[in-house]
Structure 1
Amino acid sequence: MERIRNKTAWYGTLGLMVCLVLVAVAVFSFQAKQKPRQQPLNVIFILSDDHRYDFMGFMNKVPGLQTPHMDRMAREGAHLQNAFVTTSLCSPSRASILTGQYAHTHTIVDNNAPLPEGLTFFPQYLQKQGYQTGFFGKWHMGNVDDMPQPGFDQWVSFKGQGVYYDPVFNINGKSVQQAKGSYTTDLLTDYTLEWLSKRDKKKPFFAYLSHKGVHAEFQPARRHEGKYKNMPIISPPSMYLTATDSSKVYGQRQEPTGPVNTRDIPEWVRRQRWSWHGVDGMYDGDIKFDDFYRRYNETLMSVDESIGRVLDWLKKEGLDKNTVVIYMGDNGFMFGEHGLIDKRHMYEPSIRVPLLVRGPAVIKPGTKVPQMVMNIDIAPTIMEMAGLPTPENMQGKSFLPILKGQPIPDWRDKVYYEYYWEWAFPQTPTIFGARTDQYKYIFNHGVWDINELYDIKADPEEMNNLIRDPKYQDVAMQLKKDMWNWLEATGGMQIPLKGTDSKRIDHLYRGTY
């Protein structure tokens, strides 16, 4: 009996060993068939200044405009056709990109007040994930300092808006005068590629290349001066809705193709035409509109070349397949729409920005993304590329699944907007608003003026204010309700006023402080 029990136990042990061997062989065979583990994605984020969404060659908006490298990114990657900023102003928009938060949440609502304590920038999360990170260019977020900021191993920046020629850069805390005749856009690209060349090749990288171009006053690289001297100027159809008998004429005038409502143009829009940010009073007459328009496009050329240099370097180094390159503008810019220049307000050329993404590992060439994305989505998207979840304090969403062609059922159906009145530029009031794919509601806050509602599908130039039309009262009321609900739900019911020690000239009353 004992012998039988021993023999049974021996057979049981042998059977267990055979099973374990078979399982091990099966696991090994399964693993051998799997694709090698995906390496962490490298990311290069290129930000331009004041580049509006439709001033790219492939958009066919500006006759003769050449942007071959932006065109290449759209061709080889994705063009996000409806990209928006939550605030059309440099510092608030840049803060939203870095924090994933609305302006009323991070509280950087102007270009002057100092940074609040306790903000976390998304590159800080990347550092903890093992990424090496570098910042190159214009910081200009809440103050005019150029000292290194949290989240970056390498730092190259300058104070405030900077200059186009012969800049002084802060390199890791030390001021360094650049060579005479050097051009800022080229230098920032040089420093970025130099750092990437010397990086630790065992670690993934994130580079933030933040250009001064194309911020006014525009100065193209000398090799591009006069490139567009014969470029035709085509005035947008809304340019002359606020015109008077003394208004100037700019280029070839486009005529409206749909209904026009001149009665319900806000008074602040009419008056701004003759101000610092209007086509008839622009910059106190320091430059003519036609020259202003052409120099903008000439200055843009070096930004496009910078993109090309980055793409070419990645290909040469064999990194182009596993590196995602993102190009974006920090806000839009007006060229005569409603008689205005600059940004700040909620009209389409002000709030829409170019957004291109190239990354062969995740994006099919020629991808077109119609969904509405926002600058607060940049941080969550890059973090997902690095294998990180979206922190709870971020209000944006990752659009990486959309880039991959994967549906997101609960993606937003509207975007919201906020701009806070600035003492230095009092021509534009505080503005809140909501925009869907068809309608836009604009609430002009704190002024005795009219609000605005546009059917942007039927009226893309926003020339027919429907706010008094009885047929659209339900639409206006619903969007207004949505806007206030958004502000309340996200903690935006109080305007985050800030004091500042900066002495800024009030451009409406030149010479007062």
Structure 2
Amino acid sequence: MRKLKLLYLFLLLGPIQFVCAQTQIASLKKLAEAKKLNVIFILTDDHRYDFIGFTNKISWLKTPNLDRMAKEGAYIKNAFVTTSLCSPSRASILTGEYSHVHTIVDNISPEPANLVFFPQYLQKAGYQTSFFGKWHMGEDDDRPRKGFDHWESFLGQGVYWNPQLNIDGKRIQYKDSTYITDLLTDHAVSWLEKRDKKKPFFLYLSHKAVHAPVEPAKRFAGMYKNKPYLLPSTYYQTLTDEYKSLGWPEWVKQQRYSWHGVDYAYHSHKPIEQYVQNYCETLMAVDESVGRVLDYLKQNNLDQNTMVIYMGDNGFSWGEHGLIDKRHFYEESVKVPFLVYCPALFKGGETVTKMIQNVDVAPTILECAGLQKPGYMPGQSFIPLLQNKEVKWRDKIFYEYYWEYDFPMTPTIYGVRTDKYKYIRSWGTWDTHELYDLEKDPEEMHNLIADPKYAELEKQLTGDLFDWLEKTKGMQIPLKRTIKQPSGDYRHPNQY
């Protein structure tokens, strides 16, 4: 039949036109095949949004490969997570759902059996899929998960040196000063080389770095020794009663003296400058990993038909409000680095200022596969934003965090953020709510909640918050089954 069609075209159009028609058919075929883009998703742990070379937040920090992604791709300037904590954020990425929907609300919550991960849809669409690195849903569970043809992971947070990997159900112990970031990158690149070349692919590279306690690769250890760190303007506010005049909650002051505060960070008296130096040194192997992935794509002519996404699972405070760690809804905690590279879809050097969230990752990757997102996913594909298209987009994001038994310093928090304002409500404390003007006060220093001029705005944002919770069935805190110890304490079953 195809030969008859070609003969008809030849007789109808003549030799020259026939060649042109064949070229056009080939181009259309190539275009159709290009609808199924390959995708590489690179996730880091606790990497805050502005600790990248090109942001100039840290003048001495050099990240040439992340800078390259921004230069040749797109920088999503306002990217946020829905819950600033490892497991809930990762579950939102994989399911496209909010924490109160998928119910993985803390780092030890067991993984519900009925969850659907977006790579399952990719498999059905003919993709070859793989996972490398930190999974961290179900603290003591490294078994292969649905949606992935190839699997490599480790228990919980894992370790930086000499890790044990569960590779497709078989546990392998590595020795001889094996560094986890390098190992995962080696295996990811090796999988790209050995994969079925006839299928489109999805690769999920999930680094342990730069989670505390940070340990840089030996080649980067000491690279930033004695480099200065300019303490945030809010660093000292909670040392005195000045925080009261600024309207800050009491729990923020009290947290300063916990292991989430700058004075007792991780139960240590190490200077914060040293923490920051080691954190940045640990980031260097991650930057190198990104470069290796980009180089492999280019060397194998895959760069034009592959989307690469880089993001952090949550941000991290380095002294702001006297805090260390994440969990809260302040910018440095909820905002994450987000870079996208895909020459097939858009030119390089783009900066996107619209607010995106981790629930947008799944819809975007599904669109790369030519698939429509399921109706239950609240996020949107951000591909139109990369292409500078005028599309209807959100004008606010929502946040949730649930109090943890083992980390009682931070209360349950709900919040809403627009381009201009942020509203924070805390539960379980005799304390104040918070309202900040992000344009005039980007460091979130002056709480406006008691100012009568903002009473109507508070009412509006409160309504927006509860409308969101009602619409998404989040009006009740998702509980997890607990068991009682002989001592009388309660713990999640999978803590033992």
Fold agreement, TM-score > 0.5: yes
Q: Which residue pairs with 1:498 in the alignment?
A: 480
1:33 aligned residue (7, 24, 41): 24
**CA displacement, residues 45-99 of structure 1 (integer Å, 9 cap, x when unaligned):** 0000000000000001012001000000000000000000000000000000000
Residues 1:325 and 2:316 aligned together: no
Say which SS state the counterpart of residue 238 (structure 1) adopts. coil
Q: Which residue pairs with 1:100 in the alignment?
A: 96
Say which SS state the counterpart of residue 372 (structure 2) adopts. coil
Structure 2 unaligned regions, length at least 5: 1-6, 490-494
Q: Which residue pairs with 1:279 in the alignment?
A: 262
Q: Which residue pairs with 2:42 in the alignment?
A: 46
Report the Cα distance in structure 1 between the residues aligned to 2:321 and 2:257, rounded to whole angstroms. 12
Report the Cα distance in structure 2 between the residues aligned to 1:290 and 1:33, rounded to whole angstroms. 60
Say which SS state the counterpart of residue 407 (structure 1) adopts. coil
Residues 1:62 and 2:62 aligned together: no
Report the Cα distance in structure 2 between the residues aligned to 1:471 and 1:145, rounded to whole angstroms. 51
Amino acid corresponding to residue 392 of structure 1 in structure 2:
G
Q: Which residue pairs with 2:272 in the alignment?
A: 289
Residue 31 to residue 413, structure 1, CA distance change in 2 (3 Å): farther
Residue 475 to residue 260, structure 1, CA distance change in 2 (3 Å): farther
Q: Which residue pairs with 2:155 in the alignment?
A: 159
Q: Which residue pairs with 2:250 in the alignment?
A: 267
TM-score by length of 1: 0.89
Residues 1:128 and 2:124 aligned together: yes
2:468 aligned residue (473, 486, 490): 486
Q: Which residue pairs with 1:425 in the alignment?
A: 407
Structure number with larger C-alpha Rg: 1
> Matches of residues 85-484 of structure 1 in structure 2 within 5 Å?
85-244=81-240, 262-285=245-268, 287-408=270-391, 410-484=392-466
Report the Cα distance in structure 2 between the residues aligned to 1:502 and 1:401, rounded to whole angstroms. 51
Report the Cα distance in structure 2 between the residues aligned to 1:156 and 1:22, rounded to whole angstroms. 52
Report the Cα distance in structure 2 between the residues aligned to 1:118 and 1:481, rounded to whole angstroms. 32
Once structures 1 and 2 are overlaid, which stretch shifts more, 45-54 or 225-234?
225-234
Contact 2:216–2:278 under 8 Å retained in 1: yes
Contact 2:46–2:210 under 8 Å retained in 1: yes
Report the Cα distance in structure 1 between the residues aligned to 2:53 and 2:274, rounded to whole angstroms. 20
Report the Cα distance in structure 1 between the residues aligned to 2:130 and 2:84, rounded to whole angstroms. 25
Amino acid corresponding to residue 291 of structure 1 in structure 2:
Q
Residue 44 to residue 24, structure 1, CA distance change in 2 (3 Å): farther
**CA displacement, residues 422-450 of structure 1 (integer Å, 9 cap, x when unaligned):** 00100000000000000000001121100
Query: What is the CA distance between 1:31 and its match in structure 2?
Result: 6.7
Report the Cα distance in structure 2 between the residues aligned to 1:297 and 1:502, rounded to whole angstroms. 41
**CA displacement, residues 434-480 of structure 1 (integer Å, 9 cap, x when unaligned):** 00000000001121100000000110000010001111111111111
Amino acid corresponding to residue 209 of structure 2 in structure 1:
G
Query: What is the CA distance between 1:25 and its match in structure 2?
Result: 4.2
Report the Cα distance in structure 1 between the residues aligned to 2:11 and 2:402, rounded to whole angstroms. 64
Amino acid corresponding to residue 65 of structure 1 in structure 2:
L
Say which SS state the counterpart of residue 271 (structure 1) adopts. helix
Amino acid corresponding to residue 143 of structure 2 in structure 1:
M
Residue 193 to residue 240, structure 1, CA distance change in 2 (3 Å): same
Contact 2:424–2:434 under 8 Å retained in 1: yes
Report the Cα distance in structure 1 between the residues aligned to 2:304 and 2:81, rounded to whole angstroms. 29
Aligned residues: 473
Contact 2:246–2:446 under 8 Å retained in 1: no
Contact 2:38–2:307 under 8 Å retained in 1: yes
Amino acid corresponding to residue 430 of structure 2 in structure 1:
W
TM-score by length of 2: 0.92
Contact 1:110–1:142 under 8 Å retained in 2: no
Once structures 1 and 2 are overlaid, which stretch shifts more, 371-380 or 137-146?
137-146
Say which SS state the counterpart of residue 233 (structure 1) adopts. coil
Say which SS state the counterpart of residue 362 (structure 1) adopts. coil
**CA displacement, residues 376-429 of structure 1 (integer Å, 9 cap, x when unaligned):** 000000000110001012111111111122121x21000000000000100000
Q: Which residue pairs with 1:16 in the alignment?
A: none
Residue 30 to residue 488, structure 1, CA distance change in 2 (3 Å): farther
Residue 170 to residue 101, structure 1, CA distance change in 2 (3 Å): same
